[in-house]
Structure 1
Amino acid sequence: MSESVLVTGGSGFMAGYIVRELLGRGFRVRATVRSLARADTVRERVATPGELTFAAADLLHDDGWDAAADGMDYVVHTAAPMPVGEFRGQDLLAPARDGTRRVLRAAHRAGVRRVVMTSSTATAIPADPGAPADESTWSDLPDLPRYAYPRAKTLAERDAWNLVRSWTGGPEFVAVLPANIQGPALDDDLSPSTSLIRMMLTGRMPMLPRTGYSIVDVRDLAVLHAEAMTSPDAAGQRFIAAGEFLWFREMAALLRDRFGDRAAKVPRRELPDWVVRAGARFNAEMDQLAPSLGVRTRLSAAHAERVLGWKARPAADSLTDAAASLFDLGLA
């Protein structure tokens, strides 16, 4: 019989691609959703042959996690609060930390062999902005609203390592640290990173902050999760998933070059740093952007390349495919 995998946060953008990848490799997949009413939507989004079932579980509550993990060989934990939607302006720390503990304890009680946690490169921000970062780097950020998301991700991942190290007999643990996730949207329920491209294409971003991201394609990220789950050499490791760094101005220029008249609303002018810093006093999004102004991140994925044979595709391809999917879906 094929092995079974529990994927938490099954209705998410990244989780959809991970479920696709695992089904394609012959695994039986159970995905958690907060409401089983979402199951048909997720099934249509994934659109891949194989055994896909669902379990209702919420990071904020204990109910459902033992039943979700029961009989599973692996857990891929992607579910996490983001500072958008229902969590905009809300506490991220407690849901991130408590939810991670709930998933891990359920996996431990169920005798799961290995847990792969989706962390973030936000957990590997060096003390010196722009300095090189690898899997040995850990963020150490002050308790300020602008750092709520990276602090939540960092503390949740640290909790996970401490918890699994306190147990004997497993499960094994692996952390995957994605950079900014791009790639084709599956439907109109967009991720925050894909929404950035939509804002550029639709003119909702009239000027470009002087910032940028290292980019990873969601399809490559799904492959990395699968390899981290199955490779004997991955146990006990962190893996940065990051490709090329692009400034916002470079992303915008790429979209204009690739899509011509369809990208006519993509901004050309950069927003002065002083405007962002002034606006940061009144606007949460600008406050979060302010520390990254003029900072080029230098994230190394050499460990994933060496241990798992993983390789990120060109960032231009990821952005092009993301934009093309938005046009195809009528969202740009």
Structure 2
Amino acid sequence: MLVLVTGGTGFVGAHTVAALAAAGHRVRVLARDADRVAPALSPLSVPSEAVEVATGDVTDEPAVNRAVRGVDAVVHAASVYSFDSRWHAATRGTNVRGTEVVLDAARRFGVGRTVHVSTFGAMLPSPTGVVGPQSPPGTARETYLASKAKAERVARWHQDQGEPVVISYPPALLGPDDPKLGDQNSRLRNMLRGLMPVWPGGGFPVGDVRDTAALHAALLTVPLADGNRHFGPGRYLSTRDYVRAVREVTGRRLPTLFLPARAMLPFAQLTDVVQRVWPWHIPAEYGACYVCACDARPEAGAPSAGLTPRPFAETLADTVRWLHRSGRLTAAQAGRAAATSIDHGAPAAPSVRAAASRREEARP
């Protein structure tokens, strides 16, 4: 099967490409910069012969049409995921429009299966504190969550029209080999660097990017009769449990003050305003605090294609070890995890070849 993956140079997208290649699929990656594909995929040992590259942006209709033409399935993982207020304009301009363009193209070319990568946050806030496959898109005004809620409505409209669209809802994701050091891995790093001594109360679902990637590979073949909305494997953790788990993995004390999340929201809103002009990142974002204040969890038995999440301690340990190996944490900051860090010496994958746009147009 030839599968188009948008966002293949991002955290979720790159791991999804690796899972698809491991399952025997050929993958076409739509990327704005073809030179970023090999650095994102090589650490995951993706064979070069399994991947081709189409250059373009998800909001560019002609580029998307060229990329979609001839594929059997699409995994739409491209989005701007950040609570940093400096990224608000890019978030608004990409997340909804990109979903419209990609899903419209998949419909136009009769693609057999499209997986739209949403997020559990697309259904926040929940009046019951629980989100499930039938929960309505959320009404949050925070920029990232609002954009994903609007994209969710687009995907559900296609489902209502009878299109073979499957939606995945990843939890907050950690894991190694993050090409751009995204939101969650950055937060863990900041915590271990001593930049987050204060945490909001509440909690959120969290999981491993490799488990969500495995879900996306499974969703290409799961019968639509089994449901078309699936939650990424993960587990709900209170922020206290999260910090406790990091302490156990690293062996560090990590003194932390916990404050009521809703009481912290005004301060977090102020930091968002300051962040727009402050050149260095402030690790106190309104969106992250808002998610904790919502304190929502997936409903019991929410479908996840039968996949079971790996132990959270394993995810944490692997992530901290990678942060240390890649030079993003010192041995002291990584603590016990650094002492058990092992480089297995996996051979780097050959360079991923790029396909020119005219070659894409020549495909049937």
SS in 2 for 1:208: strand
Residue type of the alignment partner of 2:307: W
Match of 1:140 in 2: 138
- Greater CA drift, 10-19 or 78-87: 78-87
- What is the RMSD of the two structures over their aligned residues, measured on CA atoms? 2.5
For residue 222 of structure 2, the aligned residue among 225, 231, 241 is 231
- Cα deviation, 1:75-125, whole Å, max 9, x if unaligned, reads 000001223579623263442221111111222233211100100101223
1:186–1:153 CA distance, 2 compared to 1 (3 A): closer
- Greater CA drift, 11-20 or 208-217: 208-217
Say whether residues 1:309 and 2:306 are aligned partners: yes
Q: Which runs of 5+ in 2 are unaligned?
A: 273-283, 330-364
1:196–1:301 CA distance, 2 compared to 1 (3 A): farther
1:258–1:57 CA distance, 2 compared to 1 (3 A): same
Q: With CA pairs under 8 Å and 6+ residues apart, which has the higher RCO, 1 or 2?
A: 2
Corresponding residue pairs, total: 317
Residue type of the alignment partner of 1:277: L
- Cα deviation, 1:14-66, whole Å, max 9, x if unaligned, reads 11111111101110001111112223323423322341111112123223111
1:109–1:214 CA distance, 2 compared to 1 (3 A): same
Contact 1:182/1:218 (8 A) holds in 2: yes
SS in 2 for 1:231: coil
For the residues of structure 2 that align with 1:293 and 1:66, how far apart are their CA atoms? 39
For the residues of structure 2 that align with 1:127 and 1:17, how far apart are their CA atoms? 29
Contact 1:30/1:54 (8 A) holds in 2: yes
1:300–1:281 CA distance, 2 compared to 1 (3 A): closer
Contact 1:116/1:228 (8 A) holds in 2: yes
1:302–1:174 CA distance, 2 compared to 1 (3 A): same
Q: How far off its partner does 1:273 sit?
A: 5.0
Matches within 5 A, 1:311-330: 311-330=308-327
Match of 1:4 in 2: 2
SS in 2 for 1:59: coil
1:21–1:289 CA distance, 2 compared to 1 (3 A): closer
1:294–1:87 CA distance, 2 compared to 1 (3 A): closer
For the residues of structure 1 that align with 2:61 and 2:321, how far apart are their CA atoms? 40
SS in 2 for 1:32: strand
Say whether residues 1:110 and 2:109 are aligned partners: yes
1:233–1:196 CA distance, 2 compared to 1 (3 A): same
For the residues of structure 2 that align with 1:133 and 1:164, how far apart are their CA atoms? 19
Q: Which runs of 5+ in 1 are unaligned?
A: none
Q: How far off its partner does 1:268 sit?
A: 2.6
Match of 1:283 in 2: 271
1:86–1:7 CA distance, 2 compared to 1 (3 A): farther
Q: How far off its partner does 1:290 sit?
A: 4.6
SS in 1 for 2:213: helix
Contact 1:83/1:90 (8 A) holds in 2: no
Say whether residues 1:258 and 2:220 are aligned partners: no
- Greater CA drift, 90-99 or 174-183: 90-99
Q: How far off its partner does 1:276 sit?
A: 2.0
Contact 1:241/1:301 (8 A) holds in 2: no
For the residues of structure 2 that align with 1:111 and 1:70, how far apart are their CA atoms? 9
Say whether residues 1:152 and 2:119 are aligned partners: no
Which segments of structure 1 move beyond 4 Å, counting only runs of 4 or more?
A: 84-87, 271-275, 292-295
For the residues of structure 2 that align with 1:322 and 1:302, how far apart are their CA atoms? 27
For the residues of structure 1 that align with 2:126 and 2:206, how far apart are their CA atoms? 21
Say whether residues 1:200 and 2:184 are aligned partners: no
Match of 2:94 in 1: 95
Identity of aligned residues (%): 29
Residue type of the alignment partner of 2:143: A
Contact 2:200/2:292 (8 A) holds in 1: yes
